[in-house]
């Protein structure tokens, strides 16, 4: 299971990107793969964010708000789906077909108040690769003390059977001894994100954080998966 850390940070960045300003920085990320025998991925990637009055590009998510009033924001969303793999990534994937990343389009609703923020995204693959859908709901609440900010986010993701089967299923022609055929089913995955932030000045932030996701049995029971949880660690200068 592969998730881009920049996208993991999207909810956080939306609350700390200055409106009308282009923000650039670097993100160092470590991704513990759930695929059998696949090595932990470590990467240094650029981050480019823009938050306008209606249009934004934050954490890899394109968004256009067509309604904003009384603490509610309704948006059209577009984002690349980072899940996928190449057969060369692991010996456990030998003789399988690559699973390509897709691109999702959908709607998002965000409500913000003194008690925090709730965001719900409804997304669907428009590339025809998985043909699946995902619904994500998350609640976040920041605590600030001087230049320090601690932010926690709790969420849950529902993934359709088509999406799960494309990325974690094993077709009959891919089956072999030790790797039986597997048909993925819809999955519900709870997750939590924690960020610790230090404001260097009005423009620059130091960010460190982690996200852990508990995988539904529909994913964890796949013969190419060897973990029931996924861990991402990251730090950034933004």
pLDDT at 164: 97
Cα–Cα distance for residue pair 165/132, rounded to 1 Å: 9
pTM of the model: 0.88
- Kindly report the length of the chain: 238
Question: What is 5-237's CATH number?
Answer: 2.40.230
| DSSP summary character for residue 11 | H
Residues of the chain falling short of pLDDT 50: 1-8, 10-12, 14
pLDDT at 47: 81
Backbone angles phi and psi of 92, in degrees to 5: -70, -15
The residues, ordered by sequence, that sit 6+ positions from 93 with a Cβ below 8 Å of its Cβ are 35, 85, 86, 87, 224
Kind of pairing between the strands at 72-81 and 41-51: unpaired
| 57-88 confidence digits (pLDDT tens) | 887 889 999 999 989 999 999 999 988 899 99
Enumerate the domain spans of the chain: 5-237
């Amino acid at each position: 299971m592969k998730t881009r850390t920049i996208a993991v940070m999207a909810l956080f960045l939306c609350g700390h990107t200055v409106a009308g300003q282009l923000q650039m920085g670097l993100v160092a990320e470590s991704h513990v793969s759930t695929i059998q025998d696949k090595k932990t991925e470590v990467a240094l990637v650029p981050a480019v964010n823009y938050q306008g009055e209606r249009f934004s590009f934050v954490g890899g998510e394109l968004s256009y708000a067509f309604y904003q009033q009384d603490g509610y924001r309704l948006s059209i969303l577009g984002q690349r789906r980072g899940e996928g793999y190449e057969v060369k990534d692991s010996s456990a994937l030998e003789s399988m077909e690559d699973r390509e990343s897709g691109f999702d389009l959908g709607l998002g609703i965000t409500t913000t108040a003194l008690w925090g923020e709730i965001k719900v995204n409804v997304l669907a693959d428009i590339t025809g690769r998985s043909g699946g859908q995902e619904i994500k709901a998350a609640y976040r609440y920041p605590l600030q003390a001087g230049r320090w900010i601690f932010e926690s986010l709790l969420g849950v993701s529902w993934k359709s059977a088509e999406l799960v089967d494309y990325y974690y299923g094993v077709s009959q022609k891919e089956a072999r001894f030790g790797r039986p055929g597997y048909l993925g089913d819809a999955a519900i995955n709870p997750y939590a994100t924690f960020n610790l932030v230090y404001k260097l000045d009005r423009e620059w932030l130091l960010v460190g954080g982690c996200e852990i996701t508990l995988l539904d049995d529909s994913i964890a029971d796949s013969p190419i998966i060897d973990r029931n949880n996924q861990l991402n660690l990251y730090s950034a200068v933004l």
